[in-house]
Amino acid sequence: MNKRILYLSFFLTVICVNVQAQDIHFSLFNMSPLSLNPANTGAFEGSFRVGGIYRDQFRSVTSNQFSTPMFYIDAPIASIGKKKKDWIGIGAMLFQDKAGLAAFQTGSFQLSAALHHSFDDNYKNVLTFGIQGGPVNRQVDLSNADLHFADEATNGAFGGATSADRMLDGNSNYTDFAVGLKFKSVVNEKMDYHLGVSLGHLLQPDVSLSTNAFDQDMRIQAHAGLTRMLNEKFSLSPSIYYTTLGPADQFQLQALGGYEFNEDFQLNFGTGYRFGDALELILGADIKDIKVAASYDLTVSELSNAKTGGAFEIALGYIFKIYKEVEVKPIILCPHL
């Protein structure tokens, strides 16, 4: 068995056994607003927003075995309060995460709602509380002959007795909940920023694939970003992201530059770093109300020794703006003669 396959086999086994640390994550986290923070629900100017993101890893070693497609839709639906400065947003998110030879899959349909409160009439300072929840299904196929367990090895080769791990039920269903807070401020015409935090797996559900209980740890996600216009054409947008789940954590720094060719087209480009894991290369564009982006992760962790290759993501978001046309009633002048 060559070293590359050995590294990967060990990595796949760890993923299948330690499901506690398995959760969806994206390098383009800002392009996945509802999985980042339920407080992002309906946090935009427009009628409704649709989008999606797709992540694929280790394709150079194994085709389509580490993939995560995710789709979302959300909308601001109603203004509330005496001065109509507050509004409610609703949304939905669907994802299917697949990992490894055992086809360990986590799929979910989540509904979300958010209450946005503006501290001023111009919506320059907005505080939001969001909540999200829905069913989750986890399943794993442990019958795959290419998947090996340590207790099946004899004399350094696989072919011993069948592992008891293959007898697991391989299916789990539960309901998951998350909450989040976000504050966004427009400082002036040239700068705005946002801060947010969310708490996932709020009720710590039992996610076990066997008869033994296995409660999921709560997941914390914190994020912040700033956009600054450097001149009439160039902008700079640094952002940070941190998440922790049980013993695992992740910290990302990103910096994107933007060049505005005209009012309908802006090119975005930059880089990021996920500490101890990967260097991120990012390219995207804003085309009217459409946002597109792609990223590639260059692995810098110990997995780079296995020559597994990196990961790539593609993302798309579109804000629909549907407004009623103003009906102008004709005025008939009838001057007296």
pLDDT reading at 16 higher than 90? no
Weakest mean pLDDT among 150-159, 171-180, 285-294, 310-319: 150-159
Give the tens place of pLDDT for each residue, 81-111. 777 789 999 999 999 998 766 678 899 999 9
pTM of the model: 0.82
Give the tens place of pLDDT for each residue, 227-247. 999 999 999 999 999 999 988
Domains present along the chain, CATH in parentheses = 3-234+290-320 (2.40.128)
pLDDT reading at 224 higher than 50? yes
Give the pLDDT score at 8: 42
Give the pLDDT score at 165: 60
DSSP 73-142: EEEEEEEESTTS-EEEEEEEEEEEEEETTTTEEEEEEEEEEEEEEESSTT--EEEEEEEEEEEEEEE--T
In whole angstroms, give the CA distance from residue 318 to residue 157: 52
Give the tens place of pLDDT for each residue, 128-140. 999 999 999 988 7
Band of residue 3 on the pLDDT scale cut at 50, 70, 90: very low
Of the chain, the end-to-end C-alpha distance in Å amounts to: 104
**Residue 68 vs residues 64, 91, 324: alpha-carbon distances, Å:** 10, 20, 38
In whole angstroms, give the CA distance from residue 324 to residue 90: 21
For residue 75, list its beta bridge partners: 90
Band of residue 163 on the pLDDT scale cut at 50, 70, 90: low
Average pLDDT over residues 22-33: 90
Band of residue 15 on the pLDDT scale cut at 50, 70, 90: very low
